Each structure stands twice: as structure tokens, then as C-alpha cells.
Chains A and B, each alone.
Chain A
Amino acid sequence: MKALLLAVIAAVAVAAAAAEIAPRDRRSGYDFAGPESRAMQDDDTANPGMLGVLQGETLWAAKAGAADRSCADCHGDARTSMRGVAARYPVFEPALSRPLDLEGRINRCRTEHQGAAPFAGESEDLLAVTALVARQSRGLPIAVDGSGELRPFFDLGSELFHRRQGQLNLSCSQCHDDNWGKRLAGAVIPQGHPTGYPVYRLEWQSLGSLQRRLRNCMIGVRAEPYDYGAPEAVALELYLMARARGMPLETPAVRP
């Protein structure tokens, strides 16, 4: 694997400067996945990510915290109230003067409105509620553009995406803008659009967040991965969602 990555570095070093993918050439990871993974994603009764959505439905209705309130008490039926929400995240939260991703928003609701402890980062419960909310945006176009108050965070995310890092000294852009569609060992390099998060990754045999996937990428280039919830992680999420603007959400997607 290391030899192949070094070969990629060498090839990229002599290639033209990093080029963004033209909007009409953007393709979801679904298009790079094999027919079996796509079939798994397309059938809601066979998609293991839907087990997480089911769990999310139970948590949505459960009373929690000092306020003894459930999500449903304020938001009613998630199928209507949460429609389109995940497609807009991350958003700027004025109270914190920084962007919040969907997991951050859910935990903020828990602490501010339910008086409950936040779900632990990457916990099954947090993923379940996030998956339930994001499922309600399936088929809707991603509507994040990183403008206005989000601009400085979008710029940070863009800088991180284009920066070489890790022992292998590779940037996200070098694989996912310049070499998508080519093979890295046995896998096809996708474009890296977060169209299906939380995603059921076959490697994990469970649902996982975009931040977990980004940590995997960073370990892949032998860089120190960002902590869950770190400002860099959220900035990168923001940049990636804006980069995928207009592409339909597929949550819960199935990916290798």
C-alpha cells in the first residue's frame, strides 16, 4: 500500500496543479461502489444503516433530561419537521460564533432544551438520532454554500483540504480532486462527497460519522487525525458539504 501511495505522490508531483472537479463531473460515492453495495443501500429493509434509523426513532420519542422532554415534544413527527434539515448543515450558530454540524446541533438541543447530558461523540445513540434526522433529507439537494458568517470557516476547511499532510505528505485534494476514479490498491478512489452520512461503512460494520471517515483518511496518509468536534474537523465538514452543494443526500448510504 505504501509503495502504491508513493507512486501516486510521484505521479501527482509531475501532474498539473490541483484542479477542482467541474460541477457536471461530480459523482457520489454511490457511483464508485459495486453493484452489491448499491443494492444494499437501495433496499430500506436490507440496509443495515436503517437499523440505526430505527434506533433513532425510539430515541426521538424518549423523554430525557431534567426537562423530561423528548425530541418529539418540540419537533413532532421527524418525517415532516426534519425534512431538509440535514441538507443545510453545518450552519452558523450565533450563540457560539462558529459553525455547528448536525451532531453538534443534536447535542446542543439535549443540553439547552432537554437538560440532558450530551450523547458521547460517535456513540451509537448519537449516530442513531443523526441518522434519523439525515434520513429525512434523503433525495434532497445539499444546500450548504459556506458564505456569509461561515466564510472564514469555509476558507479554513478549503485550506485543510488542499494542504499536504502526514508522513505520506498527501493532501485530500491530490486523491479526491486529481485522482478520483483511479485505484488505490484494491479500492477505487471516490471524489469524497459526504452525500450519505451517517454512513454504514462495510469496513466498520456499523454506522459512522463523516468525522470518523475523515479520521480514517488521515490515518491513511499517516497524519494525526483531528479529535471529534475539533474546529478543524467541523471546518472540513463545512468545506466538503459546500463542495458537494446540489448533490442529493443518500443517508444512510452504504460504502466500502
Chain B
Amino acid sequence: MARVLINLPARAKRGEIIEIKTLIAHPMETGYRVGPTGAAIPRDIINRFLCTYNGEEVFRAELFPAIAANPFIAFFTVATESGEIAFSWTDDHKETQTEVRQITVE
């Protein structure tokens, strides 16, 4: 499981626009680097990021090798209701890591 840092408020007012910052540890190997033997190091990146709010998709990103290592993605969403905001990152091996945070909306 890669290390993850997520910044999102634990509480918000209904209708408030909140900022979410996410950071995940990953080398984002581009596939363009050459190793010590001269052979290319194969590409290995996180290529998809998804945010759902109580199960509904609110934000999605498709990432390419041009995204720097330890991908940082910050975006906004409207605090509509209390519940779970889930974040998932999928890599080139089709493996997904999901993190869930709770939010209380008054």
C-alpha cells in the first residue's frame, strides 16, 4: 500500500465548496528512462484517479508519464451531504488503491 496524504475538511456547511488535496507515493516511471545496461526501464505509472462522494463520481483524472513522481492532485467539490468521500488510484497493472475519508456536512 503506497503512502497517501489527503487534505480535506472533516466538517463543512451544506453547499460549501471545499478544496481536496491528495498526494500518493509512486515513482511514476515514464518508460523513457534508460537503465544501467542500456535497456529502457518499463513504464509503470498511476494512470487513473477517481473521487466518489457517497458512491457518486465527482472527479476523475487520467494521468500520463508527464505527471511528476508522487502525484499531487488538488481539486474542489461541493459539500452536499455527510458521508464518505473515497479516493482511488489505479496503475498500469490495473491495481487499485482506495482510501476513504468521512465528512460531516451541517
Contact = CB atoms under 8 A, between A and B. Distances in A.
Contacts of B25: 48, 51, 55
A45 interface: yes
Q: Is the interface of B mostly helix, strand, loop or mixed?
A: strand
Contact of B3 (A43, A46, A55, A206): A55
Nearest to B1: A58
A55 B2 CA distance: 9
Interface in B1-19: 3-7
Interface residues of B, number: 16
Nearest to B68: A205
B27 A48 contact: no
Contacts of A52: 3
A130 to B, nearest CB: 16
A68 to B, nearest CB: 23
Contact of B70 (A44, A45, A205): A205
Contacts, number: 41
A54 interface: yes
Contact of A45 (B3, B23, B28, B69): B23
30 contacts: A43-B7, A44-B5, A45-B5, A45-B6, A45-B7, A45-B21, A45-B23, A46-B5, A46-B7, A46-B23, A46-B74, A48-B23, A48-B25, A48-B69, A48-B70, A48-B72, A50-B23, A51-B3, A51-B4, A51-B5, A51-B24, A51-B25, A54-B3, A54-B5, A55-B25, A205-B27, A205-B28, A205-B68, A205-B70, A206-B27
